[in-house]
Structure 1
Amino acid sequence: MLKVDINLVFTVINVIVLYLILRKFLFKPFNNMLAKRKKLIQDDFDTAAAAKTSAEDMKTQYEKQLQQIQIEREQILSDAKKQADQVYQKRMAEAKADAKALAEKTRRQLEEERRQTERELQDAVADLAMKATKKALESGAPLSEGRYGTLR
């Protein structure tokens, strides 16, 4: 039969006691430390995932805001172009009206100057005719048809 030696029994008991002591003072704290480390790593992964999700949300919001800003910019530019065109059209109309008024004023002034010159010429011709008639009467020469035709 099997002979059990007392040393073998003590060795087995020692191994069991050693296992229980190691389990209590080494394995349990080591497992607790590993569990804490695992939890810490998992928390870091969760935080990183949340930060990634938050960053993606912020990126989406940023892109939407950028698109909105582009739309507003285009609208502002369009409005500014329309307003500038209206101002241009208004100024052109005013300039045309001013030019037309100036041309009309100049035409009237020229017409008036022409009439004034005609009157002055008529007055000068009448004055010369009077002087010529006066000289002819003073010289005593008879009034007759001259080289210019008959006097009436």
Structure 2
Amino acid sequence: MAFRSASFILCLLFAIPRMTIAGETLDAAAMDEMHKHFSEAYNRGDLNSMAATFTENAVRVTPSGIFQGRDAIRRSFSDALKLGLHDYSVQRTVSRPEGAYVFNAGTWEAKMGDRPFHGYYSSILTSENGQLRIIEETVAVAAP
């Protein structure tokens, strides 16, 4: 009976997707939590929390331009919020380790007024002082 319980627990542990960044083991839940906190910050207009998701020297590529550094990224989010984008959400669909980084890709949704928008993103994550941070993000708006 003890062997059966131990086997079940081991199967559960191996079933959870895990990755390593900078010597730290991450699971899918950690990345989902980061996305959840970012979405919540976006929807309440918390520019500082949104920008803190990125490393100091991060690069963000959007249909509006290329933004280099946390301050420029913060300003790009300010501009997006001024457009009236709201009800933002993100869904990660691909994650894989790439050396000391993790590559993610997925979809995003938001509204401007009642008009829905959606698109795609890719990002490269790193660990900075024990926290997941985005070092590069590319965002695209889906064609109508």
Classify the TM-score, shorter chain: under 0.3
Q: Which has the higher helix share?
A: 1
TM-score, normalised via structure 1 length: 0.22
TM-score, normalised via structure 2 length: 0.22
Higher relative contact order (CA 8 A, sep 6+): 2
